[in-house]
Structure 1
Amino acid sequence: MDQITTRGLTFDVYAAGPPDGEPVLLLHGFPQDRREFAGLLPKLHKAGMRTYVYDQRGYAPGARPADVGDYRLTEAVADAVAVLDALGLNAVHVVGHDWGAQVGWRLAADHPERVLSLTAVSLPHPEALARAVKKHGVQRLRLAYTALLRSRAGEGLARLLMQQLLRRLGVRGLPYVRAMRDRRRLTAALNWYRALDDPRVPVIGPVGVPTTFVWGTRDFVVGRAAAESTADLVDEDYRFVTLRRVGHWVPEEAPGPLLEAIVDRVRKGAREEHRGGLASGR
Protein backbone atom coordinates (compact mmCIF):
# COMPACT_ATOMS: atom_id res chain seq x y z
CA MET A 1 0.00 0.00 0.00
CA ASP A 2 1.20 3.52 -0.87
CA GLN A 3 -0.14 6.34 1.28
CA ILE A 4 -0.37 9.37 -0.96
CA THR A 5 -1.06 12.85 0.34
CA THR A 6 -2.02 15.24 -2.41
CA ARG A 7 -4.31 18.26 -2.78
CA GLY A 8 -4.62 18.32 1.01
CA LEU A 9 -6.08 14.78 1.10
CA THR A 10 -4.61 11.38 1.93
CA PHE A 11 -5.41 8.27 -0.11
CA ASP A 12 -4.31 4.68 0.51
CA VAL A 13 -3.45 3.32 -2.94
CA TYR A 14 -3.12 -0.43 -3.39
CA ALA A 15 -0.89 -1.54 -6.24
CA ALA A 16 -0.53 -5.19 -7.22
CA GLY A 17 0.23 -7.41 -10.16
CA PRO A 18 3.29 -7.67 -12.42
CA PRO A 19 5.42 -4.52 -12.04
CA ASP A 20 5.88 -4.35 -15.80
CA GLY A 21 2.24 -5.11 -16.60
CA GLU A 22 -0.18 -2.79 -18.37
CA PRO A 23 -1.23 -0.19 -15.74
CA VAL A 24 -4.94 -0.26 -14.86
CA LEU A 25 -6.62 2.26 -12.53
CA LEU A 26 -9.95 1.06 -11.09
CA LEU A 27 -12.43 3.59 -9.69
CA HIS A 28 -15.35 2.48 -7.51
CA GLY A 29 -18.91 3.78 -7.23
CA PHE A 30 -21.64 4.36 -4.64
CA PRO A 31 -22.18 2.96 -2.06
CA GLN A 32 -19.20 0.71 -2.53
CA ASP A 33 -15.46 1.24 -2.30
CA ARG A 34 -12.28 -0.30 -3.72
CA ARG A 35 -13.36 -3.72 -2.41
CA GLU A 36 -15.93 -4.06 -5.19
CA PHE A 37 -13.04 -5.04 -7.48
CA ALA A 38 -11.57 -7.65 -5.12
CA GLY A 39 -12.84 -10.58 -7.18
CA LEU A 40 -11.43 -9.12 -10.39
CA LEU A 41 -7.94 -8.14 -9.28
CA PRO A 42 -6.27 -11.61 -9.08
CA LYS A 43 -7.57 -12.43 -12.54
CA LEU A 44 -6.38 -9.14 -13.96
CA HIS A 45 -2.96 -9.83 -12.46
CA LYS A 46 -2.97 -13.29 -14.02
CA ALA A 47 -3.74 -11.62 -17.35
CA GLY A 48 -0.55 -9.59 -16.94
CA MET A 49 -1.95 -6.30 -15.62
CA ARG A 50 -0.69 -4.03 -12.90
CA THR A 51 -3.66 -2.68 -10.94
CA TYR A 52 -4.13 0.44 -8.81
CA VAL A 53 -7.17 0.97 -6.58
CA TYR A 54 -8.06 3.47 -3.86
CA ASP A 55 -11.11 4.70 -1.99
CA GLN A 56 -12.23 7.97 -3.56
CA ARG A 57 -12.84 11.23 -1.71
CA GLY A 58 -15.50 10.91 0.96
CA TYR A 59 -14.91 7.19 1.30
CA ALA A 60 -11.30 7.45 2.47
CA PRO A 61 -11.04 8.73 6.07
CA GLY A 62 -8.12 10.96 5.12
CA ALA A 63 -9.92 12.45 2.13
CA ARG A 64 -13.19 13.72 3.52
CA PRO A 65 -13.58 17.49 3.02
CA ALA A 66 -16.55 19.18 4.67
CA ASP A 67 -18.04 21.35 1.91
CA VAL A 68 -20.57 19.93 -0.55
CA GLY A 69 -18.82 21.78 -3.37
CA ASP A 70 -15.69 19.74 -2.71
CA TYR A 71 -17.51 16.72 -4.11
CA ARG A 72 -18.16 18.04 -7.59
CA LEU A 73 -17.00 15.63 -10.26
CA THR A 74 -14.07 17.72 -11.44
CA GLU A 75 -12.52 17.44 -7.96
CA ALA A 76 -12.60 13.64 -8.08
CA VAL A 77 -11.03 13.79 -11.56
CA ALA A 78 -8.29 16.06 -10.24
CA ASP A 79 -7.71 13.52 -7.44
CA ALA A 80 -7.17 10.77 -10.01
CA VAL A 81 -4.68 12.90 -11.97
CA ALA A 82 -2.83 13.80 -8.76
CA VAL A 83 -2.66 10.14 -7.69
CA LEU A 84 -1.24 9.18 -11.09
CA ASP A 85 1.34 11.95 -10.78
CA ALA A 86 2.35 10.74 -7.32
CA LEU A 87 2.70 7.18 -8.61
CA GLY A 88 4.80 8.33 -11.55
CA LEU A 89 2.27 7.04 -14.08
CA ASN A 90 1.98 9.08 -17.27
CA ALA A 91 -1.03 7.18 -18.63
CA VAL A 92 -3.18 4.23 -17.57
CA HIS A 93 -6.10 2.12 -18.66
CA VAL A 94 -9.11 3.28 -16.63
CA VAL A 95 -11.93 1.07 -15.34
CA GLY A 96 -14.78 2.81 -13.53
CA HIS A 97 -18.09 1.62 -12.12
CA ASP A 98 -21.08 3.86 -11.30
CA TRP A 99 -19.64 7.17 -10.01
CA GLY A 100 -16.22 5.77 -10.86
CA ALA A 101 -17.40 5.51 -14.46
CA GLN A 102 -18.45 9.16 -14.36
CA VAL A 103 -14.97 10.08 -13.14
CA GLY A 104 -13.53 7.91 -15.91
CA TRP A 105 -15.62 9.57 -18.64
CA ARG A 106 -14.52 13.05 -17.60
CA LEU A 107 -10.91 11.98 -17.06
CA ALA A 108 -10.88 10.61 -20.62
CA ALA A 109 -12.56 13.73 -22.03
CA ASP A 110 -10.52 16.33 -20.14
CA HIS A 111 -7.18 14.52 -19.89
CA PRO A 112 -7.02 12.11 -22.85
CA GLU A 113 -3.23 12.05 -22.68
CA ARG A 114 -3.51 10.26 -19.30
CA VAL A 115 -5.97 7.57 -20.48
CA LEU A 116 -4.80 4.70 -22.67
CA SER A 117 -8.31 3.22 -22.73
CA LEU A 118 -11.57 3.45 -20.80
CA THR A 119 -13.87 0.68 -19.62
CA ALA A 120 -16.97 2.36 -18.19
CA VAL A 121 -19.35 0.13 -16.26
CA SER A 122 -23.07 0.76 -15.66
CA LEU A 123 -23.02 4.56 -16.17
CA PRO A 124 -22.91 5.80 -19.79
CA HIS A 125 -21.40 8.97 -21.15
CA PRO A 126 -22.96 11.78 -19.04
CA GLU A 127 -24.27 13.63 -22.08
CA ALA A 128 -25.96 10.47 -23.37
CA LEU A 129 -27.69 10.13 -20.02
CA ALA A 130 -28.71 13.81 -20.03
CA ARG A 131 -30.20 13.49 -23.51
CA ALA A 132 -32.14 10.38 -22.51
CA VAL A 133 -33.53 12.19 -19.46
CA LYS A 134 -34.85 14.97 -21.71
CA LYS A 135 -36.41 12.61 -24.25
CA HIS A 136 -37.64 9.66 -22.19
CA GLY A 137 -39.91 9.88 -19.18
CA VAL A 138 -38.92 6.39 -18.11
CA GLN A 139 -35.30 7.44 -17.79
CA ARG A 140 -36.35 10.46 -15.72
CA LEU A 141 -38.20 8.12 -13.39
CA ARG A 142 -35.17 5.85 -13.11
CA LEU A 143 -33.11 8.77 -11.83
CA ALA A 144 -35.74 10.24 -9.52
CA TYR A 145 -33.97 8.68 -6.55
CA THR A 146 -30.98 11.00 -7.05
CA ALA A 147 -33.07 14.04 -6.06
CA LEU A 148 -34.05 12.25 -2.87
CA LEU A 149 -30.44 11.34 -2.11
CA ARG A 150 -29.63 15.04 -2.29
CA SER A 151 -32.40 15.96 0.14
CA ARG A 152 -32.58 15.72 3.91
CA ALA A 153 -34.13 12.29 3.43
CA GLY A 154 -31.02 11.16 1.58
CA GLU A 155 -29.53 9.08 4.35
CA GLY A 156 -32.69 7.04 4.81
CA LEU A 157 -32.98 6.40 1.06
CA ALA A 158 -29.30 5.47 0.90
CA ARG A 159 -29.95 2.75 3.45
CA LEU A 160 -32.84 1.46 1.31
CA LEU A 161 -30.53 1.36 -1.71
CA MET A 162 -28.02 -0.61 0.32
CA GLN A 163 -30.77 -3.10 1.14
CA GLN A 164 -31.33 -3.46 -2.61
CA LEU A 165 -27.60 -4.05 -3.00
CA LEU A 166 -27.75 -6.70 -0.28
CA ARG A 167 -30.59 -8.48 -2.08
CA ARG A 168 -28.53 -8.62 -5.27
CA LEU A 169 -25.17 -9.45 -3.70
CA GLY A 170 -26.01 -11.23 -0.46
CA VAL A 171 -23.10 -11.43 1.96
CA ARG A 172 -20.85 -9.66 -0.56
CA GLY A 173 -22.83 -6.48 0.11
CA LEU A 174 -22.40 -6.57 3.88
CA PRO A 175 -19.04 -4.73 4.02
CA TYR A 176 -20.55 -1.67 2.32
CA VAL A 177 -23.58 -1.61 4.59
CA ARG A 178 -21.36 -1.81 7.65
CA ALA A 179 -19.00 0.88 6.34
CA MET A 180 -21.90 3.28 5.77
CA ARG A 181 -22.81 3.09 9.44
CA ASP A 182 -20.11 5.72 9.77
CA ARG A 183 -22.26 8.84 9.55
CA ARG A 184 -19.39 10.96 8.23
CA ARG A 185 -18.72 8.52 5.42
CA LEU A 186 -22.40 8.33 4.48
CA THR A 187 -22.77 12.11 4.44
CA ALA A 188 -19.64 12.49 2.32
CA ALA A 189 -20.81 9.83 -0.13
CA LEU A 190 -24.16 11.59 -0.51
CA ASN A 191 -22.36 14.87 -1.15
CA TRP A 192 -21.37 13.52 -4.55
CA TYR A 193 -25.07 13.68 -5.44
CA ARG A 194 -25.60 17.03 -3.71
CA ALA A 195 -22.84 18.55 -5.87
CA LEU A 196 -24.39 17.35 -9.12
CA ASP A 197 -25.60 20.80 -10.21
CA ASP A 198 -22.46 22.70 -9.27
CA PRO A 199 -22.10 25.39 -11.99
CA ARG A 200 -18.31 25.08 -11.90
CA VAL A 201 -18.54 21.71 -13.66
CA PRO A 202 -18.54 22.29 -17.44
CA VAL A 203 -20.48 20.19 -19.92
CA ILE A 204 -18.47 17.15 -20.91
CA GLY A 205 -17.54 16.67 -24.54
CA PRO A 206 -17.05 13.55 -26.67
CA VAL A 207 -14.39 11.07 -25.61
CA GLY A 208 -11.43 10.46 -27.88
CA VAL A 209 -9.87 7.36 -26.33
CA PRO A 210 -10.59 3.67 -27.07
CA THR A 211 -13.65 2.86 -24.98
CA THR A 212 -15.83 -0.04 -23.86
CA PHE A 213 -19.16 0.52 -22.14
CA VAL A 214 -20.56 -2.40 -20.11
CA TRP A 215 -24.28 -2.34 -19.21
CA GLY A 216 -26.60 -4.85 -17.56
CA THR A 217 -30.12 -5.14 -18.99
CA ARG A 218 -31.57 -5.19 -15.46
CA ASP A 219 -29.84 -1.99 -14.40
CA PHE A 220 -32.34 0.06 -12.39
CA VAL A 221 -30.47 3.32 -13.05
CA VAL A 222 -29.82 3.37 -16.81
CA GLY A 223 -32.22 2.39 -19.58
CA ARG A 224 -31.41 1.12 -23.04
CA ALA A 225 -31.77 4.51 -24.79
CA ALA A 226 -28.99 6.12 -22.75
CA ALA A 227 -26.84 3.01 -22.98
CA GLU A 228 -27.09 2.72 -26.75
CA SER A 229 -26.66 6.43 -27.53
CA THR A 230 -23.28 6.50 -25.77
CA ALA A 231 -21.77 5.30 -29.07
CA ASP A 232 -22.48 8.76 -30.55
CA LEU A 233 -20.18 10.38 -28.00
CA VAL A 234 -17.03 8.31 -28.47
CA ASP A 235 -14.75 9.36 -31.33
CA GLU A 236 -12.41 6.38 -31.07
CA ASP A 237 -12.70 2.61 -31.23
CA TYR A 238 -15.84 1.71 -29.27
CA ARG A 239 -17.44 -1.47 -27.99
CA PHE A 240 -20.82 -1.80 -26.26
CA VAL A 241 -21.12 -4.90 -24.07
CA THR A 242 -24.63 -5.87 -23.00
CA LEU A 243 -25.02 -8.31 -20.11
CA ARG A 244 -28.40 -10.03 -20.02
CA ARG A 245 -30.11 -10.54 -16.66
CA VAL A 246 -27.41 -8.48 -14.90
CA GLY A 247 -28.23 -5.46 -12.74
CA HIS A 248 -26.33 -2.36 -11.69
CA TRP A 249 -23.65 -4.02 -9.56
CA VAL A 250 -21.73 -5.53 -12.49
CA PRO A 251 -18.28 -6.04 -10.89
CA GLU A 252 -19.80 -8.40 -8.33
CA GLU A 253 -22.81 -9.71 -10.26
CA ALA A 254 -20.92 -10.61 -13.42
CA PRO A 255 -17.16 -10.57 -12.77
CA GLY A 256 -16.43 -13.09 -15.54
CA PRO A 257 -17.94 -11.15 -18.46
CA LEU A 258 -16.60 -7.88 -17.06
CA LEU A 259 -13.10 -9.36 -16.80
CA GLU A 260 -13.32 -10.42 -20.44
CA ALA A 261 -14.40 -6.92 -21.49
CA ILE A 262 -11.60 -5.25 -19.53
CA VAL A 263 -8.88 -7.59 -20.79
CA ASP A 264 -10.08 -7.21 -24.37
CA ARG A 265 -10.05 -3.42 -24.13
CA VAL A 266 -6.69 -3.18 -22.35
CA ARG A 267 -4.93 -5.55 -24.73
CA LYS A 268 -6.38 -3.81 -27.75
CA GLY A 269 -5.41 -0.43 -26.33
CA ALA A 270 -1.91 -1.67 -25.57
CA ARG A 271 -1.50 -2.88 -29.15
CA GLU A 272 -2.67 0.49 -30.50
CA GLU A 273 -0.32 2.35 -28.16
CA HIS A 274 2.59 0.16 -29.28
CA ARG A 275 1.83 0.80 -32.96
CA GLY A 276 1.48 4.52 -32.27
CA GLY A 277 4.84 4.56 -30.48
CA LEU A 278 6.54 2.82 -33.37
CA ALA A 279 4.96 5.20 -35.87
CA SER A 280 6.17 8.25 -33.96
CA GLY A 281 9.62 6.80 -33.37
CA ARG A 282 9.17 6.44 -29.60
Structure 2
Amino acid sequence: MALTSFTSDSLIFEVIDIGPSDGEPVVLLHGFPQDASCWSEIQGGLVAAGHRVLAPTQRGYSPGAQPADRSAYAAETLIRDVVALLDAAELPTAHIVGHDWGGALVWIMRKRYAHRLRSATVVSTPHHAALSWAMTHTTQPLRSWYMAAVALPRVPEVFLRRHLATYISKTGLPEDRANHYQSVMQTGATATGALNWYRQAFAEQIRSTKPANSSIPATAPPPTTYVWGNQDAFFGRAVAERTQHIASEVDFYEISGGHWLPETKPDELTEIIVDRVKTAHTAQR
Protein backbone atom coordinates (compact mmCIF):
# COMPACT_ATOMS: atom_id res chain seq x y z
CA MET A 1 0.00 0.00 0.00
CA ALA A 2 1.30 3.46 -0.92
CA LEU A 3 2.35 5.72 1.93
CA THR A 4 0.74 9.09 2.58
CA SER A 5 2.72 9.79 5.75
CA PHE A 6 5.43 8.37 7.99
CA THR A 7 6.82 9.14 11.42
CA SER A 8 10.26 10.11 12.67
CA ASP A 9 11.02 11.27 16.21
CA SER A 10 7.26 11.05 16.89
CA LEU A 11 6.70 13.69 14.18
CA ILE A 12 4.37 13.09 11.22
CA PHE A 13 5.71 13.73 7.72
CA GLU A 14 3.70 14.00 4.52
CA VAL A 15 4.98 11.95 1.57
CA ILE A 16 4.00 11.35 -2.04
CA ASP A 17 4.35 7.66 -2.92
CA ILE A 18 3.48 6.78 -6.52
CA GLY A 19 4.45 4.24 -9.14
CA PRO A 20 4.72 0.45 -9.10
CA SER A 21 5.46 -0.95 -5.65
CA ASP A 22 8.09 -3.28 -7.13
CA GLY A 23 9.80 -0.60 -9.22
CA GLU A 24 13.30 0.67 -8.51
CA PRO A 25 12.65 3.11 -5.62
CA VAL A 26 13.66 6.73 -6.08
CA VAL A 27 13.46 9.17 -3.14
CA LEU A 28 13.26 12.88 -4.02
CA LEU A 29 14.41 15.38 -1.36
CA HIS A 30 13.43 19.02 -1.82
CA GLY A 31 15.37 22.06 -0.67
CA PHE A 32 14.71 25.59 0.58
CA PRO A 33 12.13 27.10 0.35
CA GLN A 34 10.38 24.34 -1.57
CA ASP A 35 8.16 21.41 -0.71
CA ALA A 36 7.61 18.04 -2.37
CA SER A 37 5.66 19.70 -5.19
CA CYS A 38 8.93 20.97 -6.68
CA TRP A 39 9.28 17.48 -8.18
CA SER A 40 5.81 17.40 -9.73
CA GLU A 41 7.10 17.70 -13.30
CA ILE A 42 9.63 14.93 -12.73
CA GLN A 43 7.57 12.33 -10.89
CA GLY A 44 5.54 11.34 -13.95
CA GLY A 45 8.61 10.65 -16.05
CA LEU A 46 10.12 8.49 -13.33
CA VAL A 47 6.91 6.51 -12.92
CA ALA A 48 6.66 6.10 -16.70
CA ALA A 49 10.16 4.59 -16.57
CA GLY A 50 8.87 2.00 -14.10
CA HIS A 51 10.12 3.51 -10.85
CA ARG A 52 8.47 3.85 -7.46
CA VAL A 53 8.75 7.52 -6.43
CA LEU A 54 8.71 8.77 -2.85
CA ALA A 55 8.83 12.54 -2.30
CA PRO A 56 8.61 13.61 1.36
CA THR A 57 7.83 17.08 2.60
CA GLN A 58 10.73 17.47 4.97
CA ARG A 59 11.18 18.54 8.58
CA GLY A 60 10.08 22.10 9.14
CA TYR A 61 7.83 21.99 6.07
CA SER A 62 5.40 19.16 6.90
CA PRO A 63 2.69 20.62 9.19
CA GLY A 64 3.10 17.73 11.63
CA ALA A 65 6.89 17.97 11.73
CA GLN A 66 7.75 21.52 12.77
CA PRO A 67 9.63 21.35 16.09
CA ALA A 68 10.40 24.80 17.48
CA ASP A 69 13.81 23.92 18.90
CA ARG A 70 16.57 24.83 16.44
CA SER A 71 18.68 21.87 17.57
CA ALA A 72 16.01 19.54 16.17
CA TYR A 73 17.33 20.42 12.70
CA ALA A 74 20.84 18.99 13.03
CA ALA A 75 22.06 17.28 9.87
CA GLU A 76 22.13 13.85 11.49
CA THR A 77 18.51 14.30 12.58
CA LEU A 78 17.43 15.38 9.09
CA ILE A 79 19.10 12.30 7.64
CA ARG A 80 17.39 10.07 10.18
CA ASP A 81 14.10 11.37 8.79
CA VAL A 82 15.10 10.02 5.36
CA VAL A 83 16.12 6.71 6.90
CA ALA A 84 12.77 6.57 8.71
CA LEU A 85 11.03 6.98 5.35
CA LEU A 86 13.03 4.10 3.89
CA ASP A 87 12.12 1.95 6.87
CA ALA A 88 8.43 2.90 6.67
CA ALA A 89 8.45 1.95 2.98
CA GLU A 90 10.26 -1.30 3.84
CA LEU A 91 13.16 -0.34 1.60
CA PRO A 92 16.63 -1.47 2.74
CA THR A 93 18.08 0.78 0.02
CA ALA A 94 16.92 3.32 -2.55
CA HIS A 95 18.16 5.76 -5.16
CA ILE A 96 18.31 9.15 -3.40
CA VAL A 97 17.98 12.44 -5.29
CA GLY A 98 18.28 15.83 -3.60
CA HIS A 99 18.08 19.46 -4.66
CA ASP A 100 19.47 22.42 -2.71
CA TRP A 101 19.35 21.47 1.00
CA GLY A 102 18.09 18.06 -0.06
CA GLY A 103 21.28 17.75 -2.08
CA ALA A 104 23.37 18.68 0.96
CA LEU A 105 21.80 15.75 2.80
CA VAL A 106 22.59 13.42 -0.09
CA TRP A 107 26.28 14.36 0.01
CA ILE A 108 26.39 13.47 3.71
CA MET A 109 24.38 10.27 3.23
CA ARG A 110 26.70 9.26 0.40
CA LYS A 111 29.54 9.09 2.93
CA ARG A 112 27.88 8.07 6.19
CA TYR A 113 24.88 6.05 4.99
CA ALA A 114 26.18 4.60 1.74
CA HIS A 115 24.79 1.21 2.78
CA ARG A 116 21.25 2.62 2.34
CA LEU A 117 21.86 4.18 -1.10
CA ARG A 118 21.65 2.36 -4.44
CA SER A 119 22.76 5.60 -6.12
CA ALA A 120 22.99 9.31 -5.35
CA THR A 121 21.99 12.27 -7.52
CA VAL A 122 22.72 15.77 -6.27
CA VAL A 123 21.10 18.71 -8.04
CA SER A 124 22.67 22.20 -7.81
CA THR A 125 24.30 21.83 -4.38
CA PRO A 126 28.10 21.50 -4.40
CA HIS A 127 29.95 19.22 -2.01
CA HIS A 128 30.25 20.90 1.42
CA ALA A 129 34.07 20.77 1.30
CA ALA A 130 34.03 22.47 -2.11
CA LEU A 131 31.74 25.17 -0.73
CA SER A 132 34.06 25.76 2.23
CA TRP A 133 36.99 26.13 -0.18
CA ALA A 134 35.05 28.49 -2.45
CA MET A 135 34.11 30.77 0.45
CA THR A 136 37.78 31.72 0.88
CA HIS A 137 39.15 31.32 -2.66
CA THR A 138 36.45 32.68 -4.97
CA THR A 139 33.64 35.22 -5.17
CA GLN A 140 31.22 32.62 -3.76
CA PRO A 141 30.54 34.73 -0.62
CA LEU A 142 28.80 37.27 -2.87
CA ARG A 143 26.41 34.51 -3.95
CA SER A 144 25.98 33.04 -0.46
CA TRP A 145 25.31 36.20 1.54
CA TYR A 146 21.73 35.08 2.13
CA MET A 147 22.91 32.07 4.15
CA ALA A 148 24.08 34.36 6.94
CA ALA A 149 21.11 36.70 6.55
CA VAL A 150 18.47 33.97 6.95
CA ALA A 151 20.20 32.71 10.09
CA LEU A 152 19.31 35.91 11.91
CA PRO A 153 16.36 35.78 14.34
CA ARG A 154 12.79 36.95 13.50
CA VAL A 155 13.39 39.34 10.60
CA PRO A 156 13.89 36.56 7.99
CA GLU A 157 10.47 35.10 8.85
CA VAL A 158 8.83 38.40 7.99
CA PHE A 159 10.76 38.57 4.72
CA LEU A 160 9.78 35.03 3.69
CA ARG A 161 6.11 35.61 4.39
CA ARG A 162 5.93 38.95 2.60
CA HIS A 163 8.65 39.17 -0.03
CA LEU A 164 9.94 35.67 -0.84
CA ALA A 165 8.14 35.38 -4.18
CA THR A 166 9.51 38.68 -5.45
CA TYR A 167 13.07 37.71 -4.54
CA ILE A 168 13.23 34.13 -5.82
CA SER A 169 11.37 34.90 -9.04
CA LYS A 170 14.29 37.20 -9.88
CA THR A 171 16.66 34.22 -9.62
CA GLY A 172 14.92 32.28 -12.39
CA LEU A 173 12.05 30.52 -10.61
CA PRO A 174 8.72 30.74 -12.48
CA GLU A 175 6.34 33.20 -10.86
CA ASP A 176 3.63 30.63 -10.11
CA ARG A 177 6.09 28.45 -8.21
CA ALA A 178 7.53 31.45 -6.38
CA ASN A 179 4.04 32.45 -5.27
CA HIS A 180 3.31 28.91 -4.13
CA TYR A 181 6.45 28.74 -1.99
CA GLN A 182 5.64 32.08 -0.41
CA SER A 183 2.17 30.76 0.46
CA VAL A 184 3.84 27.72 2.07
CA MET A 185 5.94 30.06 4.23
CA GLN A 186 2.76 31.79 5.40
CA THR A 187 1.37 28.52 6.79
CA GLY A 188 1.84 27.72 10.47
CA ALA A 189 5.44 27.60 11.63
CA THR A 190 6.85 26.69 8.23
CA ALA A 191 8.96 29.84 7.84
CA THR A 192 10.75 29.24 11.13
CA GLY A 193 11.11 25.53 10.45
CA ALA A 194 12.66 26.17 7.03
CA LEU A 195 15.03 28.78 8.44
CA ASN A 196 16.10 26.49 11.26
CA TRP A 197 17.99 24.36 8.73
CA TYR A 198 20.32 27.35 8.23
CA ARG A 199 20.37 28.39 11.87
CA GLN A 200 21.40 24.96 13.05
CA ALA A 201 23.95 24.68 10.24
CA PHE A 202 25.62 27.85 11.44
CA ALA A 203 25.50 26.66 15.05
CA GLU A 204 27.15 23.33 14.33
CA GLN A 205 29.07 24.14 11.14
CA ILE A 206 27.66 21.02 9.51
CA ARG A 207 29.01 22.08 6.13
CA SER A 208 32.54 21.25 7.27
CA THR A 209 33.75 17.67 7.07
CA LYS A 210 32.97 15.48 10.09
CA PRO A 211 34.32 12.03 10.91
CA ALA A 212 31.97 9.22 10.04
CA ASN A 213 29.88 7.68 12.81
CA SER A 214 31.80 4.58 13.87
CA SER A 215 28.56 2.68 14.47
CA ILE A 216 27.73 2.87 10.76
CA PRO A 217 29.37 0.22 8.55
CA ALA A 218 32.05 1.52 6.18
CA THR A 219 30.79 1.18 2.63
CA ALA A 220 32.10 2.39 -0.71
CA PRO A 221 30.22 5.45 -2.03
CA PRO A 222 27.31 4.59 -4.31
CA PRO A 223 27.26 5.57 -8.00
CA THR A 224 26.83 9.33 -7.93
CA THR A 225 25.75 12.08 -10.30
CA TYR A 226 26.13 15.82 -9.73
CA VAL A 227 23.98 18.17 -11.84
CA TRP A 228 24.69 21.91 -12.00
CA GLY A 229 23.01 24.71 -13.92
CA ASN A 230 25.53 27.08 -15.46
CA GLN A 231 23.31 30.09 -14.71
CA ASP A 232 22.88 29.22 -11.02
CA ALA A 233 22.52 32.45 -9.05
CA PHE A 234 23.74 30.83 -5.83
CA PHE A 235 26.53 28.43 -6.81
CA GLY A 236 29.13 29.52 -9.37
CA ARG A 237 31.26 27.51 -11.77
CA ALA A 238 34.32 27.44 -9.51
CA VAL A 239 32.54 25.63 -6.67
CA ALA A 240 30.78 23.27 -9.07
CA GLU A 241 34.02 22.26 -10.74
CA ARG A 242 35.78 22.00 -7.39
CA THR A 243 33.17 19.42 -6.40
CA GLN A 244 34.43 17.15 -9.19
CA HIS A 245 37.91 17.19 -7.70
CA ILE A 246 36.83 16.68 -4.09
CA ALA A 247 34.14 14.02 -4.52
CA SER A 248 35.58 10.86 -6.06
CA GLU A 249 33.82 8.86 -8.76
CA VAL A 250 31.13 11.43 -9.53
CA ASP A 251 29.56 11.92 -12.96
CA PHE A 252 29.17 15.66 -13.61
CA TYR A 253 26.41 17.11 -15.80
CA GLU A 254 26.27 20.78 -16.72
CA ILE A 255 22.84 22.02 -17.77
CA SER A 256 22.04 25.33 -19.45
CA GLY A 257 19.84 26.63 -16.67
CA GLY A 258 19.72 28.22 -13.24
CA HIS A 259 19.32 27.01 -9.67
CA TRP A 260 15.73 25.78 -9.87
CA LEU A 261 16.34 22.81 -12.17
CA PRO A 262 13.49 20.58 -10.87
CA GLU A 263 10.97 23.26 -11.84
CA THR A 264 12.63 24.70 -14.95
CA LYS A 265 14.44 21.75 -16.56
CA PRO A 266 12.31 18.74 -15.61
CA ASP A 267 12.78 16.79 -18.86
CA GLU A 268 16.57 17.02 -18.84
CA LEU A 269 16.75 16.27 -15.15
CA THR A 270 14.40 13.31 -15.43
CA GLU A 271 16.54 11.84 -18.19
CA ILE A 272 19.67 12.19 -16.06
CA ILE A 273 18.02 10.58 -13.02
CA VAL A 274 16.62 7.69 -15.07
CA ASP A 275 20.05 7.09 -16.58
CA ARG A 276 21.70 7.16 -13.13
CA VAL A 277 19.19 4.64 -11.78
CA LYS A 278 19.55 2.39 -14.82
CA THR A 279 23.34 2.30 -14.80
CA ALA A 280 23.48 1.78 -11.03
CA HIS A 281 20.93 -1.04 -11.23
CA THR A 282 22.85 -2.71 -14.06
CA ALA A 283 26.13 -2.47 -12.14
CA GLN A 284 24.58 -4.02 -9.02
CA ARG A 285 23.07 -7.03 -10.82
TM over 0.5: yes
After TM superposition, the structure 1 = structure 2 runs for residues 21-170 of structure 1, keeping only pairs within 5 Å, are 21-136=23-138, 138-152=139-153, 153-158=155-160, 159-167=162-170, 168-170=173-175
Percent identity reads 39
Contact 1:96 1:104 in 2 (8 A): yes
Contact 1:94 1:117 in 2 (8 A): yes
Confirm or deny that 1:247 pairs with 2:253.
no
Deviation of the 1:204 alpha carbon: 4.6
Contact 1:16 1:51 in 2 (8 A): yes
Alpha-carbon RMSD across the aligned residues, in angstroms, is: 1.9
Secondary structure at the counterpart of residue 150 of structure 1: coil
Give the Cα separation in 1 of the matches to 2:9 and 2:197: 18
Letter in 2 for 1:180: M
Confirm or deny that 1:197 pairs with 2:193.
no
Letter in 2 for 1:42: G
TM-score (norm 1): 0.90
Please point out which of 191, 216, 234 is paired with 1:221. Answer: 234
Give the Cα separation in 1 of the matches to 2:282 and 2:243: 24
Superposed CA deviations along residues 215-253 of structure 1, whole A, max 9, x for unmatched, are 1111111011110111123333x2111112x11111011
TM-score (norm 2): 0.89
Contact 1:149 1:157 in 2 (8 A): no
Please point out which of 229, 232, 235 is paired with 2:245. Answer: 232
Give the Cα separation in 1 of the matches to 2:23 and 2:40: 18
Contact 2:151 2:202 in 1 (8 A): no
Deviation of the 1:200 alpha carbon: 8.0
Give the paired residue count.
271
Give the Cα separation in 2 of the matches to 1:228 and 1:200: 23
Contact 2:14 2:56 in 1 (8 A): yes
Deviation of the 1:178 alpha carbon: 1.0
Letter in 1 for 2:112: D
Secondary structure at the counterpart of residue 171 of structure 1: helix
Superposed CA deviations along residues 128-179 of structure 1, whole A, max 9, x for unmatched, are 111111211x101111111110113322443544323335312233221111
Contact 2:19 2:52 in 1 (8 A): yes
Deviation of the 1:205 alpha carbon: 7.0
Counterpart for residue 7 of structure 2: 5
Contact 2:7 2:84 in 1 (8 A): no
After superposing on structure 2, the runs of 4+ consecutive aligned residues of structure 1 that deviate more than 6 Å are none
The runs of 5 or more residues in structure 1 that have no matched partner are 275-282
Deviation of the 1:42 alpha carbon: 0.8
Counterpart for residue 257 of structure 1: 268
Counterpart for residue 176 of structure 2: 171
